Amino acid sequence: MLPNDVRKLNAGELAKKEGELRDRVARLTMKRNARRLDKPSELVAARRDLARVLTVKNEKGAKA
């Protein structure tokens, strides 16, 4: 997910995306701990996407 795509989302969509990404990170972390994660880069990408969403969410909160 690109930063420009995240910036286009409104507050409700950001909150929904954040929840989805938190769930995804949790599932991938459990898979990694169980040694069943095929591509470790998926976890890294999910964490980065979550960080992007949280950053944009904080930026929009600071502007309001």
Tell me the pLDDT tens digit for each residue of 7-59.
Answer: 999 999 999 999 999 999 999 999 999 999 999 999 999 999 999 999 999 99
Dihedral sign computed on CA atoms, order 45, 50, 54, 59: positive
pLDDT confidence of residue 63:
76
Give the Cα separation of 25 and 5 in Å (integer).
20
The model's pTM? 0.91
pLDDT confidence of residue 34:
95
* Chain center to CA of 61: 17
Q: 19 is in which domain, residue-wise?
A: 3-63
Say how many domains are in the chain: 1
Q: Which domain CATH number covers 13?
A: 1.10.287
